[in-house]
Chain A
Amino acid sequence: MFSTSSQRKFWTFNDESELARHREKHNLEFISKHGHHIDEYQRYNFFLSPDEERLLLKQYELHLKEFCKRFAPPMPKGVVGTAFHYFKRFYLYNSSMDYHPKEILATCVYLACKVEEFNVSIGQFVANIKGDREKASDIILNNELLLMQQLNYHLTIHNPFRPVEGFLIDIKTRCSTLANPERLRGGIDEFLEKVFLTDACLLYAPSQIALAAVLHAASKEQENLDSYVTDMLFRDAGSDKLAILIEAVRKIRSMVKMVESPARERVRIIEKKLDRCRNEENNPDSEIYKRRMRELLDEDDMPHSGSNRMSLDTSGISQVLSPSIFN
Chain B
Amino acid sequence: MDDQACPRCKTTKYRNPSLKLMVNICGHALCESCVDLLFLKGSGSCPDCNVPLRRSNFRVQLFEDSMVEKEMDIRKRVLKDFNKKEEDFATLREYNDYLEEIEVIIYNLVNNIDVVGTNKRIEQYKKDNKELIMKNKAKIGREEIELEEILENEKQMEEFRRQEIAKMEDEAKKQKIREKEALIDELMFADGDAKDILNTFAQTVANKQEEVVPLLPKVTQFSSGVKFTRGSSQALPIIEEGPLYKYEPLEIPDRCGPDPPSLEEIMKNGFLHHVRAENETEKAGGYTSTLPCLRALQDALSGLYHAS
- Interface of A with B (CB < 8 Å)? 1-4, 8, 12-15, 158, 162-170, 172-174, 203-208, 210-211, 233-234, 236-237, 241, 244-245, 248
Contacts and interface: CB of A to CB of B under 8 A. Distances in A.
Interface residues of B, number: 28
B74 to A, nearest CB: 67
Nearest to B298: A1
B136 interface: no
Contacts of B253: 1, 3-4
B304 A245 contact: yes
Interface in B267-302: 269-271, 273-275, 293, 295-302
Given A14-B308, A169-B293, A173-B269, A233 B301 contact: yes
22 contacts: A1-B253, A2-B303, A3-B255, A3-B256, A3-B306, A8-B303, A12-B306, A15-B308, A163-B300, A164-B300, A166-B295, A169-B297, A170-B300, A173-B269, A173-B271, A204-B308, A205-B302, A205-B303, A207-B304, A210-B300, A233-B301, A244-B307
Contacts of A13: 308
B258 interface: yes
A208 B295 CA distance: 16
A301 B308 CA distance: 51
Contacts of B305: 237, 241, 244-245
B52 interface: no
Contacts of B298: 1, 166
> For chain A, what secondary structure do more than half of its interface residues adopt (helix, strand, loop), or is it mixed?
helix
Contacts of A241: 305, 307
A168 B302 CA distance: 15
Nearest to A2: B303
Given A12-B306, A207-B303, A165 B296 contact: yes
Nearest 10 CB-CB pairings of A with B: A166-B300, A205-B303, A166-B296, A3-B256, A205-B306, A2-B303, A163-B300, A172-B274, A14-B308, A165-B296
B258 A237 contact: yes
Contacts of B255: 1, 3
Nearest to A159: B299
Nearest to B259: A236
Nearest to B297: A166
Given A169-B274, A169-B297, A173-B270, 20 more contacts: A1-B299, A3-B257, A3-B303, A3-B306, A8-B256, A12-B308, A158-B303, A163-B299, A163-B300, A164-B300, A166-B298, A169-B275, A170-B300, A172-B273, A174-B269, A204-B308, A205-B304, A206-B299, A210-B300, A241-B307
